[in-house]
Amino acid sequence: MGKPTGFLEFQRELPKDRPPLERIADWKEFHLHQPSADLKKQGARCMDCGIPFCHSGQLVSGMASGCPIHNLIPEWNDLVYRGLWKEALDRLHKTNNFPEFTGRVCPAPCEGSCVLGMNNPAVTIKNIEVSIIDHGWENGWVTPQPPAKRTGKKVAIVGSGPAGLSAAAQLNKAGHTVTVFERADRPGGLLMYGIPNMKLDKQEVVLRRISLLEAEGVKFVCNTEIGKNYPVEKLKADFDAVILATGATKPRDLTVEGRQLKGVHFAMEFLTANTKNLLDGVKPGTQITADGKHVVVIGGGDTGTDCVGTSVRHGCKSVVQVEIMAKPPLERAKDNPWPEWPKTLKLDYGQEEAAEKFGEDPRVYLTTATKIEGDEQGNVKAVHTVQVEWTRNDKGQFIPKNVPGTEKVLPAQLVLLAMGFLGPEQPLLEQLGIERDPRSNAKADFEKYTTNVNGVFACGDCRRGQSLVVWAFNEGRGAARECDRFLMGATSLP
């Protein structure tokens, strides 16, 4: 694939991002485009590796290795190298309903398992992917493709996040009449309100694709929460099948003294309010602002990074990101071999921006919060922390142990909790009578997605727990396939 000697001739190159101090002045996407000639060279680096692990899509040591939706990466790399952009788009759309989303926000496990990456920098798979789809939109190649005929079957999808959207796209393609219910005021779920605009533009990227789905026949019903203002009994009566794609939206809380103080928020409260204000304008009582404040973000994942980037754009006085895990190494450790996901140190956009503005990386490692201190009015004013070391308990499990003498007090007028999610909210599952697994997720086998209730399927984070957007796309497509089989007795969906 690509040029046989391309990986020897060309070095890995990515497009430049907008300078940090420039981009923190607005909410526009910060990635720039790369010229077609440069992309051709990057496609040429895709080597004829024999077994392309990049699209294997498996779990290795509990982490994604290769593309979970099995993108035909070597094929469209080769087509880009040869300048056949439309053909590359066709190959990309065979496995991926929304490459403009994955090409922007996926952490690219494909690159972590790239064979070239064993001893050289991996192929720039993610950037080539997003360039293909953006090229397709710019040239008018992405157009509505409604089904030629309808089956007469009606499917309800609860939740319009990544899993729900991919299930809707596939079932509509099969000819079923699809209605997607969303409790928020706009469709998109995590893509709309969980990921900030500078990573994924809402108007120009998310709503553009949703408008295309509507033109193809998918119906979106917003401001509607099943089990509250739309009865579960009506859902069962009105539709031939139901797919639950509600996500894992129950956040992990911090049970320390002072948690109840004003100014302590879950990350999603902060990020959602920010995006709503960007789209609708700031309304009294709806804004959670970091402007002029010392901010402490507790949690080191992508959501924590998004809180850092958003706080910097608000004009915070300082920001510290508290991470309980150890600082990753610069290169793969011996116990983290290829093709596992490389657990190496990365400077993501939020940390890069904070470092540029305040002079240092905002992250502190092996640290946990022990107390949140308030003032006389009940507002947060400081976070007490301590360093930890990871030791084994009597059961052999690794647990964090506080290190005496390492206590610190961080000034804070805004504390954001970004420690992940514990699973789906339970009321709807209870009303439907859905069995749960030990982690409180909807119980449904992978690749089958059938729950204990006939005609009700579950997919995405509400089935597997908090995971990557690309795994949600995998599960949405799989649930659509099994739902189609249930409705029709057979299926041609992949």
Q: What is the pLDDT of residue 1?
A: 65
* Final residue in a domain of this structure, among 138, 172, 196: 138
- Side chain identity at residue 64, one-letter code: A
- Total domain count, the chain: 3
Query: Are 108 and 178 members of one domain?
Result: no
Residue 493 lies in a domain: no
Query: Are 95 and 49 members of one domain?
Result: yes
Query: Are 276 and 405 members of one domain?
Result: yes
Query: Are 197 and 113 members of one domain?
Result: no
Helix-strand-coil percent breakdown of the chain, rounded to 5?
35, 20, 45
- Asked if 475 contacts 449 with a C-beta cutoff of 8 angstroms, the reply is yes
Q: What is the pLDDT of residue 414?
A: 98
Q: What DSSP string describes 234-300?
A: HHHHH-SEEEE-----EEPP--SBTTTSBTEEEHHHHHHHHHHHHHH---TT-----TT-EEEEE--
* Final residue in a domain of this structure, among 419, 445, 460: 419
Chain-centre distance for alpha carbon 148: 33
Q: How far is CA 198 from CA 56, 101, 213, 359, in A?
A: 30, 13, 23, 22
Q: Cα–Cα distance between 199 and 353 in angstroms, integer?
A: 13
- Asked if 14 contacts 124 with a C-beta cutoff of 8 angstroms, the reply is yes
Query: Are 202 and 89 members of one domain?
Result: no
* Final residue in a domain of this structure, among 419, 447, 475: 419
Q: How far is CA 398 from CA 62, 252, 419, in A?
A: 16, 19, 18
Query: Are 134 and 61 members of one domain?
Result: yes
Residue 1 lies in a domain: no
Query: What CATH code is carried by the domain that includes residue 95?
Result: 1.10.1060.10
Query: What CATH code is carried by the domain that includes residue 323?
Result: 3.50.50.60
Query: Are 27 and 101 members of one domain?
Result: yes
Query: Are 164 and 207 members of one domain?
Result: yes
Nearest residue to 301 via CA among 204, 192, 421: 421
Three-class SS of 468-479: CHHHHHHHHHHH
> Which stretches of 14-140 are assigned E, i.e. beta strand?
58-60, 63-65
Query: Are 72 and 175 members of one domain?
Result: no
Q: Cα–Cα distance between 328 and 305 in angstroms, integer?
A: 16
Which residue segment(s) compose the domain that 368 sits in? 253-419
Query: Are 226 and 296 members of one domain?
Result: no
Residue 200 lies in a domain: yes
Secondary structure (3-state) at 359? coil
- Crossing angle of helices 162-173 and 207-215, rounded to 10°: 20
Query: Are 236 and 257 members of one domain?
Result: no
Residue 147 lies in a domain: no
Residue 145 lies in a domain: no
Query: Are 483 and 406 members of one domain?
Result: no
Q: Kindly state the tokens that stand for 77.
A: 């790399």
Residue 149 lies in a domain: no
- Asked if 416 contacts 394 with a C-beta cutoff of 8 angstroms, the reply is no
Q: What is the pLDDT of residue 63?
A: 85
pLDDT < 70 stretches in the chain: 1
